[in-house]
Structure 1
Amino acid sequence: MPAQIYSPFQKFNFSNKQCFLSGQILNSEEEKIQVFPQWLMTLYNLEDQPFKLLDETIATYKDLKIPCSAAINDEFLEPLEKDIAAAFANGYDGVKALDTSKLYRWAAKLLYGIIFNEIQAGIRLMHSQGEDFNISQSIIHKFSHLHMMLQSINLPLHFEDFTPYSLFLFRVDNNEAEFGYRDEINTQTFALRIKDFGLVICLQDNGANGMYHREIYDQIKGDTLHPIQFEEFSGRVFYSNYLFNRLPEYNILPVGDEIYIEAMPLRGMSSKPLFDDWINKTYGQVLENFWKNWGFLLLEIIKNPEKPMSFLFDKDGNKINAADIELPN
């Protein structure tokens, strides 16, 4: 029988009775897995750390779980976790050697797990107020496509001549005890800065942000970055993905037992550029947030509105060496 893609957004099914990935009915509502894998939580003592949801409620990392069949977990998710954990144990070199599609699936699973918890929290809140849960069609469009791509974990699903994501990896001179995690679920942007590396992924842009930042990335990808430099590059990517103004569309082509996903051209019928105009004041606000650890304020960052503060390049456009940056790590 040909593989079937599970589409939870069609009937908006986010109960704990069905597997988040396959839609399979579970034996018990306790059949769940952690969103943040146990090995990662143990490494950074995250279990009881606070995690703020969009409705302003505070959960802990260990509270974030998703319904998942034991068979799916054993056959597909655990092997993926083992590969990622082993790569992360070897730091930058281990991650660099890993197939980027595995990193993508792992990050997508984690982000989708957070989305699943956010939706459940939103449904509970609306129902407690006697209202139906509403979510915009464009957000449903993005989330449902992310979930479809995620099923490349457990289905013979192939991306036909395209990559659904942009991925940036750096060696970073991190404080070894620091767990630097950041996401933006509306734009589906993910960043992780741990051990001796930093990773940024745009999970559903068909590589557009990779093209947008190619010139800068090519200049710095071989360097060891100071954490503030990595956060600057992350800020650029988070902001550009916010400016990305297309909703990617796909054709689904079942061929025998396989499923092929074909990306429609991003330009489509529009002559409008793929990205809205870059506004330095808004970018400065992003940087202020990303540089919170170092206490830089917006007024300092955009003192020169034409050239916001940068720790990657000096005023003449030359690269700044991480060793020359004197800030607390």
Structure 2
Amino acid sequence: MKNSRRTSPNYGYRDSISWPTTLALQMGSVGLIVGFEDFGFLEWWYDQNYGELLRGKCLHPAQFWEIAGRAVYAGGLGGWDVSYSIIENEKGMFITLDPRIREGHPEDPQRLADIVAAFTEIPDLAKIARPGTTPTLLIDKDGNYQDMPA
């Protein structure tokens, strides 16, 4: 990942405080997305939607946070409700999980756009220009990877 100006404490993590429980971390040039209740769904989702397109690419931090927001949305379309407790310091994190089965959220392009806008901190990404689409920093109008300068 390209360098970020994000100044969050320790690991610069963000989470979805509502279901699904997902945690995204930015550690310098490395970004991680963890879905606590998906049993591999988010990995499959990423491979299907972005694996080939983004393989070997160096993402801008806003692009990473867009993927994190989209992962939260995708993870919320079905399955589990997992609450968690987290303790962190400069040496690491300790996370405990409490899973429960529950119904997923219905598909909603505006909800997706709102989540992406919140995770990227770019309010304009919440504006849907065409029904059924959401703005993106990842893909250009021709369907190719959109490189963003650092």
> Hey, what's the Cα distance between the residues in 2 that align with 1:229 and 1:319?
11
Output one character per residue of 1:250-277: Cα deviation in whole Å (capped at 9) or x when no partner: xxxxxxxxxxxxxxxxxxxxxxxx9655
- Which residue, 184, 196, 209 being the options, matches 2:29? 196
Instruction: Name 1:289's counterpart in structure 2.
Output: 118
Give the paired residue count.
Answer: 126
Instruction: Name 1:123's counterpart in structure 2.
Output: none
Instruction: Name 1:184's counterpart in structure 2.
Output: 16
Kindly report which structure 2 residues correspond to 1:125-274, keeping only aligned pairs within 5 A, or say none.
172-175=1-4, 178-179=7-8, 180-185=12-17, 186-219=19-52, 220-246=54-80
**Which residue identity is paired with 2:126?**
L
Structure 2, unaligned runs of 5 or more: 83-102
The structure, 1 or 2, with the larger RCO (C-alpha pairs under 8 Å, 6+ apart) is 2
8 Å contact kept, 1:189–1:238: yes
Three-state SS of the structure 1 residue aligned to 2:144 is: coil
Larger Rg: 1 or 2?
Answer: 1
Query: How big is the alpha-carbon RMSD for the aligned residues of Structure 1 and Structure 2?
Result: 2.7
Change in CA separation of 1:282 and 1:203 when aligned onto 2, cut-off 3 Å: same
8 Å contact kept, 1:176–1:195: no
Three-state SS of the structure 1 residue aligned to 2:26 is: strand
> Hey, what's the Cα distance between the residues in 1 that align with 2:47 and 2:107?
16
1:195 Cα deviation after fit: 0.7
Output one character per residue of 1:291-316: Cα deviation in whole Å (capped at 9) or x when no partner: 22x442623xx122322111111122
> Hey, what's the Cα distance between the residues in 2 that align with 1:196 and 1:311?
18
Structure 1, unaligned runs of 5 or more: 1-171, 249-273, 324-328
1:243 Cα deviation after fit: 1.4
Output one character per residue of 1:32-81: Cα deviation in whole Å (capped at 9) or x when no partner: xxxxxxxxxxxxxxxxxxxxxxxxxxxxxxxxxxxxxxxxxxxxxxxxxx
8 Å contact kept, 1:176–1:196: no
> Hey, what's the Cα distance between the residues in 1 that align with 2:144 and 2:77?
26
Instruction: Name 1:311's counterpart in structure 2.
Output: 137
Three-state SS of the structure 2 residue aligned to 1:322 is: coil
| TM, length-normalised to structure 2 | 0.70
1:229 Cα deviation after fit: 0.7
| TM, length-normalised to structure 1 | 0.34
> Hey, what's the Cα distance between the residues in 1 that align with 2:80 and 2:112?
20
1:230 Cα deviation after fit: 0.6
> Hey, what's the Cα distance between the residues in 2 that align with 1:297 and 1:224?
21
Q: Structure 1 vs Structure 2: percent identity of aligned residues?
A: 28
More helix per residue: 1
Change in CA separation of 1:287 and 1:176 when aligned onto 2, cut-off 3 Å: closer
Change in CA separation of 1:221 and 1:234 when aligned onto 2, cut-off 3 Å: farther
